[in-house]
Structure 1
Amino acid sequence: MPRIDLRRLILLLSLSVVTLTAGNLFFASYQTQRNFLMAQTLEANRIYAVKLASTTENFLKLTQQQLAFSAALLPEIWDQPEKLWQETHRLRRETNSFNSVTVIRADGKIIAASPSYMNLTGTFSSSEGFRQATSRRQPNISQPYIGSSNHLMIQISHPVFDADGNYLGYLGAGIYLNEPNILHSLLGEQYYRDGTYLYVVDTQGRLIYHQDPTRVGDVVKGNPAIDAVIAGQTGSLQLNNSQGIDMLTGYAPVPRIGWGVISQRPTAVTLEGLQRLMLEVAGYAVPLLLLSLLGIWWISTLITKPLWQLANSTQYWGSSTAAQSVSKVRAWYYEAAQLKNAMQKALMSLHQQLGRLNQENVTDPLTGLTNRRGLQLILEDWENRRQPFSVLALDIDHFKQVNDSYGHSAGDLVLQHLAQQMRRHSRESDVLCRHGGEEFLMLLPGTPPSQAIQVAERLRAAMAYTESPNGIPVTVSLGVASWPQARKTVALVLKEADQALYRAKESGRNRVVHADQDMPPDDANG
């Protein structure tokens, strides 16, 4: 697998650092501005909701004062229907705050009503507003209800008492929620084309004002802003409305009646200008970023050239021209110069050290054979040099019984005996390895499969017919495989040899099995 060179690595690192830094600055700037805009909008909506809640509170207070003044005039004209009607008409027309004004006796009979076309005079009221007003007999603002004219409405009422304090009835002013009314005048002008709008709910979460008239009367559940404002809280939060739109919401209660005023604006609208701004910033930043990367590429080429030349010379380290190749490198900065000098001084000693293994670290202390670490170094070297070889995987048969029956010292003698036999039946170039426990490997460089099987058979026979030092009969089973073969890796070949060894054990032990099942019998028998 080709490795990435230093120049590309520097470019990649620089690109990553520059991109991450620019991206982090861009993201941090965006997040800072975003949080500021959202906090600013939330606070603006909260203040706006407080302002309109106060406006609504003052309106309700004013209407109750108007009703109180008018109600104080009614006892003197209580038995004069014409004057009662004139007073209701005056009250409705003068303030333009109410859709209807009625005077209702204690028994529910409407004795005066404006406007006249509704024909309410002389009829009896049994509405929720009537029940609330007569039961409380004090200034009252009703909850929304369906009135006698089939309007969703609220009624602001004031009781009427005679000079002796007897309850005569009440003066009621109706505001129709699903028709143009004073709430529309107070709040309707606050709807903007950018999506900001207001709505008002009663103590049950019922919409009593909304920019969409069809929604007036709906009860909204699960809205945290509505839940908070009904509980008398003032604040702001980010939420998804009933249409699933992300909103920045401010809310405030109307203390006199317990209503809640909610002002909200879509988050997307709030951030729309910021997104355009960030795109403009990116448009200015990207060309400068590209110029910076071009400069980094040129500088990295200058820095890495001597190092690349020195690294390239190591490919011909064993040739006579290696020293000359190193001397031609123009090391123009300190690190490259030091590396060049070190390579020149160490060239000859490095030649001598190539291929030398530390015997103490790569030798099994019991058998004197190569251990796993040495085996790995040799296999890596052979694989890099494409050195063909055959491998013999061998295992002492019933070795556990030897340890259990004669003790571990006897087992150690058996292992040493096998190591001696492996040396007797190998060449100087062969690698003998104790792979672990009673498992051993023999690596035979440049040996074809047929010859490897012959070596395995000779070793098997020698172990079977040669008495061990302590007189214990010992046999071995062997598996044979070769590399390279059909694009198989060294690791896979070793695994195949190991699998062949286990097939030898399963088929009776004291035998040789080749990993290639299709090998002719003559080759397999050596």
Structure 2
Amino acid sequence: MHLPSAFRLDLRRLILLFAVTTALLTLANTFYASYVTQRDLLIRQTLETNRVYAAKLADSTEGLLNLARQQLAYSVAVLAPVFDQPQKLMAETERLKTQTSIFNSTYVVSADRSLLAISPQALAKPGSVVNSDGAREAVAMRQPLVSQPFVSVIGRLVIAVSHPVFATDGRYLGYVGGSIYLRERSALDVLLSDHHYRDGSGLYVVDRQRRILYHHDAERIGEVMPGNPVIEAAISGDAGAQRVTDTDGVDMLTGYASVTSTGWGIVAQRPTEATLAKLHGLMLEILGNSLPVSLLTLLCIWWLSRLIARPLWQLASSARQMDSQPAAEQIRQVSSWYFEAAELKRAMLAGLAQFNHKIGQLNHDTITDPLTGLLNRRGMLARLEQWQAGNRPFAVIAIDVDHFKQVNDSLGHDAGDQLLRQLAQLMEQVARSNDVLCRNGGEEFMALLPETSLADACAVAERLRQCVADSPIPEGMSVTISLGVAHCPLSSAGIEHALKQADQALYVAKHQGRNRVVTAGAA
């Protein structure tokens, strides 16, 4: 049975089908592999960020509690000699409440749990017996402690920080304490509530009984959390990060840490979906950008399939006329180019590799000064954009060679170029590994020092100035530099302002006699 010619599967169609299928599968595999790699990287970065974040908040909470204990310890020294004087007890509770702002309320309780003084005074009357769990625990333990959450006599869910008071003869008099409200504004709430995302991410704190001490949803404070690996690890004193499913069934990327003195667990989490949301948009953008190239590739495949099939089609046509006289001549005239095609493929691959190398070199050249090897102004601005996006503070040093024109005029431009290269080398010797060194143009240079104070930047600038002054150029001529130092955001309103201040300080250094360092503040 013979198929119609329109449906006949010839070599050209076979090659086209195979090549298109291979190209689509390769594109899909590359796209998927890229997605998986980027997804795993984002998840690892988010887990590590949340782990560091939880550890930082655990340290901050520990510091807040230590400060509270220190304040109470100081009050004990004041209260012990006057424990039988109600007015002085009241004055000290007022001072403790007003001065520290750590506690929502402060109080003094006797050994029989009688309230001797309290601030604010409207909360309870002195002389009443305090029957809260925190009071009983403080009297029973007779040592500095942070209580478990309990409901106070006025119906608030609180934790109490207390310190025992002993007479000079060792007799237990009672304790002084402060309450931190869990469902209302407090120092602990202020510390933790500033760290909350708006994309479903959040932070919560639990005690050893898994009771929630802080949650961005105030209604959940006091609730006992069901056990999960993250909470169990945190309250057992561990720190780390895990990917878990929360009680609402949401896939979360979680970091956790422990507050050592209390055994509280601090958990910072972010939904996996929120973490990957930007990745999905990025992959769609990549796909959109790759479509024109993909269409062009398919067009080339179609053309190549015709080119590959043509010699065999010619041979087949000639084979059908083997009994004719011109058949031999027709076969000799068929262009059999397969070996040359393989060589061409190899040459194209070599050319592509060379092209990629040149593109990479071109990208490097666009941000690098060819004379000194330092970043040019474009590279410097790109780095500043990264720092600005991360709100990263830095110091900036503007540098200019004194009397550079005289070097060019007297020794020639080759000596001037050698001087600039030598200055770049000295800057690299003085700078740290993470400092950014740039040549703005001509004899103007700039150094960007991340996470560096203005005073430290001035010290670096002075070392560089002295190093240049002590290093003559090869022709023996002494050269000096003038430097202006500024800081962002310490001494400016933004990056452009900081750069401008550094230039102004450099201008002042020039007019004050050159060969000196001037800070933006001094300028």
Q: Confirm or deny a common fold (TM above 0.5).
A: yes
1:212 aligns with 2:217: yes
Cα 1:114/1:298, change in 2 over 3 Å? same
1:148 to 149, 153, 167: 153
Alignment partner, residue 264 of structure 1: 269
**Cα deviation, residue 40, structure 1:** 1.6
**Cα deviation, residue 88, structure 1:** 0.9
1:257-290 Cα distance to aligned partner (Å, 9 max, x none): 0011111122222222222222221111111111
Cα 1:312/1:243, change in 2 over 3 Å? farther
1:124 aligns with 2:101: no
Q: Which amino acid aligns with 2:296?
A: L
Cα 1:7/1:120, change in 2 over 3 Å? farther
1:145-180 Cα distance to aligned partner (Å, 9 max, x none): 112111111110100111111111111211110111
Residues 182 and 221 in structure 2, CA contact (< 8 A), matched pair in contact too: yes
Cα 1:192/1:81, change in 2 over 3 Å? same
**Cα deviation, residue 209, structure 1:** 0.5
Residues 177 and 216 in structure 1, CA contact (< 8 A), matched pair in contact too: yes
Cα 1:108/1:326, change in 2 over 3 Å? farther
**Cα deviation, residue 18, structure 1:** 1.4
Residues 117 and 126 in structure 2, CA contact (< 8 A), matched pair in contact too: yes
Cα 1:257/1:290, change in 2 over 3 Å? same
1:199 aligns with 2:204: yes
For structure 2, the 5+ residue unaligned runs are: 340-523
> 2-side partners of 1:310 and 1:144: how far apart?
92
Q: Which amino acid aligns with 2:169?
A: D
Alignment partner, residue 37 of structure 1: 42
Alignment partner, residue 333 of structure 1: 336
Alignment partner, residue 243 of structure 2: 238
What SS class does the counterpart of residue 301 from structure 2 fall into? helix
> 1-side partners of 2:167 and 2:150: how far apart?
29
> 2-side partners of 1:151 and 1:285: how far apart?
61
What SS class does the counterpart of residue 200 from structure 1 fall into? strand
Alignment partner, residue 232 of structure 2: 227
**Cα deviation, residue 27, structure 1:** 2.1
Alignment partner, residue 28 of structure 2: 23
Alignment partner, residue 12 of structure 1: 17
1:73 aligns with 2:78: yes
For structure 1, the 5+ residue unaligned runs are: 337-526
Residues 189 and 214 in structure 2, CA contact (< 8 A), matched pair in contact too: yes
What SS class does the counterpart of residue 280 from structure 1 fall into? helix
Q: How does 1:90-101 map to 2 (within 5 A)?
A: 90-101=95-106
Residues 45 and 236 in structure 1, CA contact (< 8 A), matched pair in contact too: yes
1:105 aligns with 2:110: yes
**Cα deviation, residue 33, structure 1:** 2.1
Q: Which moved more, 1:294-303 or 1:156-165?
A: 294-303
**Cα deviation, residue 331, structure 1:** 4.2
Cα 1:326/1:174, change in 2 over 3 Å? farther
Q: Which amino acid aligns with 1:111?
A: L
Cα 1:335/1:98, change in 2 over 3 Å? closer
Q: Which amino acid aligns with 1:275?
A: H
1:183 aligns with 2:188: yes
Cα 1:104/1:310, change in 2 over 3 Å? same
> 1-side partners of 2:127 and 2:117: how far apart?
8
Q: Which amino acid aligns with 2:47?
A: L
What SS class does the counterpart of residue 305 from structure 2 fall into? helix
Instruction: Indicate the RMSD between aligned Cα atoms, in angstroms.
Output: 2.5
**Cα deviation, residue 242, structure 1:** 2.0
> 2-side partners of 1:226 and 1:94: how far apart?
35
1:418-464 Cα distance to aligned partner (Å, 9 max, x none): xxxxxxxxxxxxxxxxxxxxxxxxxxxxxxxxxxxxxxxxxxxxxxx
Alignment partner, residue 482 of structure 1: none
**Cα deviation, residue 31, structure 1:** 2.2
Q: How does 1:73-472 map to 2 (within 5 A)?
A: 73-307=78-312, 323=323, 331-333=334-336
TM-score (norm 1): 0.59
Alignment partner, residue 383 of structure 2: none
Residues 198 and 263 in structure 1, CA contact (< 8 A), matched pair in contact too: yes
**Cα deviation, residue 248, structure 1:** 1.5
- For the pair shown, the structure with the greater C-alpha radius of gyration is 1
**Cα deviation, residue 135, structure 1:** 1.4
**Cα deviation, residue 312, structure 1:** 8.7
> 2-side partners of 1:41 and 1:313: how far apart?
67
Q: Which amino acid aligns with 1:121?
A: P
**Cα deviation, residue 322, structure 1:** 7.4
What SS class does the counterpart of residue 194 from structure 2 fall into? helix
Q: How does 1:458-497 map to 2 (within 5 A)?
A: none
Q: Which amino acid aligns with 2:104?
A: N
Q: Which amino acid aligns with 2:140?
A: S
Alignment partner, residue 49 of structure 1: 54
What SS class does the counterpart of residue 190 from structure 1 fall into? coil
Residues 203 and 269 in structure 2, CA contact (< 8 A), matched pair in contact too: yes
1:80-121 Cα distance to aligned partner (Å, 9 max, x none): 112211111111111111111121111111111111111242
> 2-side partners of 1:123 and 1:311: how far apart?
112
Residues 161 and 169 in structure 1, CA contact (< 8 A), matched pair in contact too: yes
Cα 1:108/1:43, change in 2 over 3 Å? same
Q: Which moved more, 1:291-300 or 1:190-199?
A: 190-199
**Cα deviation, residue 23, structure 1:** 2.1
> 2-side partners of 1:312 and 1:59: how far apart?
91
Residues 310 and 326 in structure 1, CA contact (< 8 A), matched pair in contact too: no
> 1-side partners of 2:142 and 2:338: how far apart?
98
> 1-side partners of 2:125 and 2:250: how far apart?
44
**Cα deviation, residue 71, structure 1:** 1.5
**Cα deviation, residue 255, structure 1:** 0.2
**Cα deviation, residue 335, structure 1:** 7.5
> 2-side partners of 1:172 and 1:199: how far apart?
25
> 2-side partners of 1:312 and 1:216: how far apart?
86
> 2-side partners of 1:234 and 1:142: how far apart?
23
Q: Which amino acid aligns with 2:244?
A: L
Q: Which moved more, 1:112-121 or 1:283-292?
A: 112-121
Q: Which amino acid aligns with 2:29?
A: N
Residues 315 and 334 in structure 2, CA contact (< 8 A), matched pair in contact too: no
Cα 1:36/1:326, change in 2 over 3 Å? farther
**Cα deviation, residue 30, structure 1:** 2.1
Q: Which amino acid aligns with 1:191?
A: H
> 2-side partners of 1:196 and 1:76: how far apart?
50
Aligned residues: 331
Residues 134 and 150 in structure 2, CA contact (< 8 A), matched pair in contact too: yes
Alignment partner, residue 449 of structure 2: none
TM-score (norm 2): 0.59
Cα 1:274/1:323, change in 2 over 3 Å? farther
**Cα deviation, residue 334, structure 1:** 6.3
